[in-house]
Amino acid sequence: MKLFESLNVAGMVIPNRVMVPAMVTRLSGEDGLVNKDITDRYVRYAQGGAGLIVIEAMAVHHAKSGPLLRISDDRDVPGLGDLVRRIHDTSDSKVVPQIIHFLKISKSGWRQTVDMLSLAEIDRIVEEFGDAVVRARAAGFDGAELHSAHAYTLASFLSRANPRKDDYGGDTLEGRLHLITRIFANIRRKVGNDFPVGVRYLADEFIKDGYTVNDAKLIGLRLAQLGAAYLSLSVGGKFEDAIHVAGQVPYPYTGYSGDRCMPGDWYPAVPHAQFSAEVKAFIRAHGFNTPVATAGKISDPGDAERLVATGAVDIVGIARGLLADPDWPNKVRHGEADRIVKCDYCNVCKHLDGTHMRVICALWPQGSLQAPPDDRSTQAPRWSADGANLVATVGQGKAALKWNKAAGAARYDIFRTDPLGHVEVADAVKVTRWEDHNLLAGMPYRYHVCVYGAAGQGGVPSNTVTVSLPMPDVSARA
Amino acid sequence: MKLFESLNVAGMVIPNRVMVPAMVTRLSGEDGLVNKDITDRYVRYAQGGAGLIVIEAMAVHHAKSGPLLRISDDRDVPGLGDLVRRIHDTSDSKVVPQIIHFLKISKSGWRQTVDMLSLAEIDRIVEEFGDAVVRARAAGFDGAELHSAHAYTLASFLSRANPRKDDYGGDTLEGRLHLITRIFANIRRKVGNDFPVGVRYLADEFIKDGYTVNDAKLIGLRLAQLGAAYLSLSVGGKFEDAIHVAGQVPYPYTGYSGDRCMPGDWYPAVPHAQFSAEVKAFIRAHGFNTPVATAGKISDPGDAERLVATGAVDIVGIARGLLADPDWPNKVRHGEADRIVKCDYCNVCKHLDGTHMRVICALWPQGSLQAPPDDRSTQAPRWSADGANLVATVGQGKAALKWNKAAGAARYDIFRTDPLGHVEVADAVKVTRWEDHNLLAGMPYRYHVCVYGAAGQGGVPSNTVTVSLPMPDVSARA
């Protein structure tokens, strides 16, 4: 598979094209230092065979925040160095820190915007990013990634909503690009040209008056000109449309742009990769070979392979899918895709992040802080003597499924075959019942349930049931 | 061109695939009756050669509103009949009314939602739509179109945000489909099976927790099963994210979903047609040949032809482009695409609608209430003796262009060639200056200006200028 070919990213050779994008874990303390839980989280990805691991956003500055890693002081370096060593000792995965600057925000809903920054404060941000990259290099990271996406400082400068009237805004593309251009120049002065620095930024802001892929192409071209090691594209995740709950710090993934950033189960698969493909084609047309990474509801190995094999993108970011199962890369490479613990896009992880809780996957065993080991020695779960006994009842526009418990079950996947014969995993649950609310009356839908143990070992599939909702009564009323 | 092949739409033969989608004109009075201005507007589209003209939304009920056509009373029929006759006397264009039901809304921002409707009120809506279709037939329309898109009653039932707990919602697809299913059954009882009734609905709501193309496919299949004559897809335009200005009735095109519904100049061309193509492919796979129409920032004849020729869709809706130039179809058919008055997506029309002003195009001659006639006898505009004298200056991230006035000029199109050699009309203006804020420094951009008379007759193109912004100063501060 093309997905498992190596790639030279500005000197950093990643062994395959599967990337763990930066995901907040909320596992650090207020001190911002690496701890055992964080180390375990990222070593787990290395065990699973990801080609590039982007460590969750760590602050380049000292501003107050919730639990968040820091790379703002030399005291942060030893812990980060240990983390890097543990990952390098585990696999040939490459590892970079995502480095972030954010502005102030309060529980009242007030937030600092880029037009409130003085020129001296902007100068300080430039230095802070440069110093953070120096620390990343000192810690042994293979490179670094500037967080210029979502609701944070660099993205707010790139945004069409940037309200500054001076050289850092002024309603022009060059104004919006000025800060990141200066930051790159400063980084080069401080660490030289041989340390790979990639950038994550938005392909589309998905907010009113926000920028679209038209601007993303031009931003990508500038970043390529500046020598960005790679471009990693995300979408949305903005404060502009965040829903403010009284007494809580606004969370930039609560509005529509947040839906797009982490598309839930009602979204089609791979809804945003075409933007990354457009950016890649555009910079290639300008003669730049900068690798381009995409992300957003990618979980099917066929989709991932297609994105790379067709040349649409160079690297495939899988966030929630790798949280659910860090062994996704190794399982796919070894032809064991059927053993993947498949993300069902329930977004429990997103809600945990939004409430500053430690981020876990709802599909992990109860009480686990990490994905369970891929323990092939454990037995597959077994139905009791009377089997799965899957039954379905219909009514009120729904099909209600229930089935027996299986011994050793960690989860049940509901396989749904639509009237055209397409099979999909409609959901993954820990209980033994599920409802389908998305049926067209008069059409046949078929289901079976597969049971899995914690390491993904599958039991015997259940019996199959077919349902059809009665056509609604549309006769005239009295 | 495939675009100019006829199509049988459930018995209504449209002479070509170009559709005028329903566009509010605000030309009617409070009485809701057809008047001369409205007649002139639609006869103009017939003169221009559109295959299908959808008359702006007219209410099926008596609720208070601003200026809006009505089809809620038999007294509305004679005026509508005259309008239809005038159109049929002008061309072979087919004409249908878009019929709408909307809920109450107030200047306080309060709005009635579908869960506030009693079952008796729902029954009345069912009858009102049926009665309106009877009136449409009596008026001589070739068919009718149910408005089930944007922020209005039928769309609010289809929405994932439908909060009803009963048969008309209940968090199920069938619940959300129940009202429109009843309406179709009622229409069939009242007008029989031989009167074409199409439906406009949303391919994607573009709101938080809103539905995506996944649901649009299923909704389209149900509509096809119900015998919809055609499916016409739009996106967005919802109250859920509308921006409420104190003292004004909320306008459902002010939020992000409004951006998507009428994408402005910063959006790529044809941003939504792939959804329509997905819906079409889905219903075809289920054996339905229902024609599918798309819309959304389509103006280039090549794009329109490609959409039809590849089979992506069957009908191409062009709203703002035909408002700017109702002669678009005839000009394209006759190989005169260079004479088209090209919409520049400035959205003045949208703002006029939003403030309940009469909707015109900013590119029409000053003071015109209608597009000017395609008067080939008028002379092309002429530069004075010293020519166009286009000059450009650069600075502050911008290129500022200015040029001489031309005698008889109605507008100037700014042709911009990007560093890859792609030419586009960057803007259309009535003044003799323009600024480009979207340049990457260090890259060459080339411009020339073309001048046009009111009927689209073009003068001699201006001289060409090339600019390049200086690279920004990114040296370290003191």
What CATH number is given to the structural domain containing A336? 3.20.20.70
Residue finishing a domain among A303, A328, A354: A354
Report how many helices (DSSP H) and strands (DSSP E) chain B contains, helices first: 12, 20
**pLDDT tens, residue by residue, B143-183:** 999 999 999 999 999 999 999 999 999 899 999 999 999 99
Matching residue, tokens 């009756």: B33
Minimum Cα–Cα distance from B269: chain A residue? A214
User: Strand B382-383 to strand B406-407: parallel, antiparallel, or no bridges (unpaired)?
Assistant: antiparallel
User: Which are the contacts of A269, defined by CB distance < 8 A and separation ≥ 6?
Assistant: A297, A298, A299, A300, A303
On whether both B339 and B438 belong to a single domain, the answer is no
CA distance B139 to B135: 6
On whether both A404 and A300 belong to a single domain, the answer is no
Predicted pLDDT of residue A170? 86
* Low-confidence residues in chain A, pLDDT < 70: 476-478
Predicted pLDDT of residue B418? 96
**pLDDT tens, residue by residue, B96-151:** 999 999 999 999 999 999 999 999 999 999 999 999 999 999 999 999 999 999 99
Token digits of residue B262: 């009428």
Return the number of other C-beta atoms located less than 10 Å from residue B334's C-beta.
11
Asked if residue A382 belongs to a domain, the reply is no
Predicted pLDDT of residue A456? 83
Q: Which of B101, B196, B74, B75 is nearest to B156 (CA)?
A: B101
Judge: A175–B397 Cβ closer than 8 Å, yes or no. yes
CA distance B43 to B25: 14
Judge: B173–A420 Cβ closer than 8 Å, yes or no. no
Asked whether A437 and A356 are in contact (CB, 8 A), the reply is: no
Element (H, E) at A204: strand A197-204
Q: Which of A30, A51, A56, A58 is nearest to A41 (CA)?
A: A56
Token digits of residue A476: 């005239």
On whether both A151 and A245 belong to a single domain, the answer is yes
On whether both B137 and B272 belong to a single domain, the answer is yes
On whether both B395 and B316 belong to a single domain, the answer is no
Of B189, B211, B259, nearest to A209 by CB-CB distance is B259
Q: Is the pTM of this model over 0.80?
A: yes
Judge: B182–A474 Cβ closer than 8 Å, yes or no. yes
Predicted pLDDT of residue A478? 38
Asked if residue B378 belongs to a domain, the reply is no
For residue B110, with 0-12 CB atoms within 10 Å meaning exposed, 13-18 middle and 19 or more buried, which class applies? Answer: exposed
Asked if residue A433 belongs to a domain, the reply is yes
Q: Residue B358: what residue type?
A: R
Distances from the Cα of A156 to the Cα of A103, A163, A199, B438, angstroms: 10, 9, 14, 17
On whether both B183 and B303 belong to a single domain, the answer is yes
Q: How far is CA A233 from the centre of its chain?
A: 11
Asked if residue A385 belongs to a domain, the reply is no
Predicted pLDDT of residue A67? 83
Predicted pLDDT of residue B375? 86
Predicted pLDDT of residue B478? 38
Residue finishing a domain among B354, B372, B405: B354
A contact residues 431-460, partner B, Cβ 8 Å cutoff: 437-442
On whether both B344 and B423 belong to a single domain, the answer is no
Matching residue, tokens 């490479």: A333
Instruction: Choose between B63 and B297: higher pLDDT.
Output: B297
Q: Which of B476, B447, B475 is nearest to B462 (CA)?
A: B447
CATH of the domain at B426: 2.60.40.10
For A331, half-sphere exposure in the C-beta direction (CA atoms, 13 angstrom radius) is: 24
Looking at chain A, how many residues does it have?
478
Q: How many domains does chain B have?
A: 2
Distances from the Cα of A406 to the Cα of A64, A450, B38, angstroms: 48, 10, 69
Predicted pLDDT of residue B474? 78
Matching residue, tokens 């047309």: A285
Residue finishing a domain among B301, B326, B354: B354
Statement: residue B253 has pLDDT above 50: yes
Q: Does B396 touch chain A (CB under 8 A)?
A: yes
Q: Does A165 touch chain B (CB under 8 A)?
A: no
Asked if residue B191 belongs to a domain, the reply is yes
CA-angle at A21, arms to A15 and A23, nearest 5°: 140
For residue A310, with 0-12 CB atoms within 10 Å meaning exposed, 13-18 middle and 19 or more buried, which class applies? Answer: exposed
The stretch B26-41 carries a mean pLDDT of 94
Token digits of residue A112: 């600092």
**pLDDT tens, residue by residue, B282-296:** 999 999 999 999 999
User: Strand B445-452 to strand B411-417: parallel, antiparallel, or no bridges (unpaired)?
Assistant: antiparallel
On whether both B299 and B398 belong to a single domain, the answer is no
Q: Identify the DSSP state of A128.
A: H
For A426, half-sphere exposure in the C-beta direction (CA atoms, 13 angstrom radius) is: 22
Predicted pLDDT of residue A295? 98
* Minimal C-alpha gap between B168 and chain A (Å): 10
For B313, half-sphere exposure in the C-beta direction (CA atoms, 13 angstrom radius) is: 30
On whether both B315 and B459 belong to a single domain, the answer is no
Predicted pLDDT of residue A476? 59
Of B208, B419, B440, nearest to A259 by CB-CB distance is B208
On whether both B326 and B413 belong to a single domain, the answer is no
Distances from the Cα of A191 to the Cα of A136, A230, B285, angstroms: 10, 17, 57
pLDDT band (50, 70, 90) for residue B477: low
Matching residue, tokens 């839908």: A445
* Minimal C-alpha gap between A189 and chain B (Å): 9
Of B175, B182, B207, nearest to A397 by CB-CB distance is B175
Asked if residue B68 belongs to a domain, the reply is yes
Q: Which residues of B touch A185 (CB under 8 A)?
A: 474-475
Token digits of residue B49: 């050669």
Q: Which residues of A touch B159 (CB under 8 A)?
A: none
On whether both B97 and B241 belong to a single domain, the answer is yes
Matching residue, tokens 């951009």: B445
Could you give the dihedral angle defined by the CA atoms of residues A134, A138, A143 and A145, in that order, rounded to the nearest 10 degrees?
-50
Asked if residue A181 belongs to a domain, the reply is yes
Predicted pLDDT of residue A473? 79
Token digits of residue B393: 């200056």
Token digits of residue B221: 């299949």
B165 Rama sector, left if φ>0, alpha if ψ -120 to 50, beta otherwise: alpha
Matching residue, tokens 């020129």: A119
What is the extent of the structural domain holding B118?
2-354
For residue A247, with 0-12 CB atoms within 10 Å meaning exposed, 13-18 middle and 19 or more buried, which class applies? Answer: exposed
Q: Does B421 touch chain A (CB under 8 A)?
A: no
Q: Which of A294, A296, A300 is nearest to A422 (CA)?
A: A300
On whether both B441 and B293 belong to a single domain, the answer is no
CA distance B279 to B228: 14
Asked if residue A212 belongs to a domain, the reply is yes
Interface A–B counts its CB contacts (< 8 A) at: 146
